[in-house]
Structure 1
Amino acid sequence: MTAIYPYLTFENAKEAMAYYEKDFGAQITYHEALTKEQAESLGLPVDQLDQTTMRGEFMIAGQKIICADATMGNPQTSTLISILLDFEEEEDKARDLFNRLAKSDNQRVTVPFGDWVLNNVMGQIVDKYGITWLIRANKQG
């Protein structure tokens, strides 16, 4: 089976995973720190390897997201790619997540949650890392 997963890079992926756990209700499922050899080969300091992330995985609403530290320089925010979190028939779950995110100072609402095209409901936020999230569901009732 072939799959596509978002692969996000952060200055500090371990910190980012904690943010998604707190604000998005994510479950952290995997974390692997850089080894001393990996850090040295990338010219990175080796004094706090437990704070690094070679590969991390977390789940948001049952969907896997992979992440790592940006070892090749500072990551840049882009509006070219957004993440669509599709709740399909679970409008209440989509609305609950959007409302929780909208109440936090860590995100910015760019499209309020509400009726959208083709009998959908949707809202859009930009998280503290500049990642755009579209939260969508089929309209119920």
Structure 2
Amino acid sequence: MANTNLIPYLTFENTKSALEYYKRVFGATDVTRESPTEKQAEEMSLNPDVNLDNLTLQASFRVLNQPIYAADSFLGKPVVSSLISLMLEVDAHDSDAESALESLYKQVSDSEEVKVIVTFEKKSSGNKYGQVVDKYGITWIFSAVK
């Protein structure tokens, strides 16, 4: 289907804090965050004394110019799952894209705020590949394919 996008939508216990993490560790850009209004909080049956500024109804950010959306889990504590993976894939023939991907991997892995699963390097296939898990249990796959 043309004109269809698949955009990750992540749920956190504290999206406000997660956004700071992704800015610091992944260099997230174009960060937006919207708190619920009093009316929305009432409609969601939130405790009337809750600090709405600490809650996130919807947020978005970009990593390597790829959009990611997020929000707080209003239905209870989110369950961390190793089943969630996000892959950043670039064309290895595009040296600027490959360089940006490699720089991001280095920034992320050097931060010591992720667990490196696979070091980003050329594999037997000729493609470059690396994998980390962030502090929220999300696997990030870095892939430069020919």
Q: TM-score, normalised to structure 2's length?
A: 0.87
Taking a change above 3 Å as real, the CA distance of residues 92 and 54 of structure 1, as seen in their structure-2 partners, is: same
1:107 paired residue among 104, 110, 114: 114
Work out whether 1:67 is the aligned partner of 2:70. Answer: yes
Q: Secondary structure at the match of 1:87?
A: strand
The CA distance in 2 between the partners of 1:41 and 1:10, in whole Å, is 20
**Range with greater deviation from structure 2 (90-99 or 10-19):** 90-99
- Give the superposed CA RMSD: 1.6
The CA distance in 2 between the partners of 1:76 and 1:118, in whole Å, is 35
Q: Secondary structure at the match of 1:76?
A: coil
Residue 2 of structure 1: how far off its partner (Å): 1.4
The CA distance in 2 between the partners of 1:64 and 1:24, in whole Å, is 13
Q: What is the aligned partner in structure 2 of residue 44 from structure 1?
A: 46
Is the contact made by 1:30 and 1:56 (CA closer than 8 Å) also made in structure 2? yes
Work out whether 1:25 is the aligned partner of 2:27. Answer: yes
Residue 38 of structure 1: how far off its partner (Å): 2.2
Taking a change above 3 Å as real, the CA distance of residues 81 and 117 of structure 1, as seen in their structure-2 partners, is: farther
- Structure 2: unaligned runs, 5 residues or longer: none
Q: What is the aligned partner in structure 2 of residue 76 from structure 1?
A: 79
Is the contact made by 1:91 and 1:121 (CA closer than 8 Å) also made in structure 2? no
1:24-67 C-alpha deviation (Å, 9 max, x unpaired): 11113421111122223333234311111100010110100000
- Structure 1: unaligned runs, 5 residues or longer: none
Residue 117 of structure 1: how far off its partner (Å): 5.2
The CA distance in 2 between the partners of 1:29 and 1:21, in whole Å, is 8
Residue 94 of structure 1: how far off its partner (Å): 1.5
The CA distance in 1 between the partners of 2:124 and 2:45, in whole Å, is 49
The CA distance in 1 between the partners of 2:89 and 2:78, in whole Å, is 26
The number of residue pairs the alignment matches comes to: 139
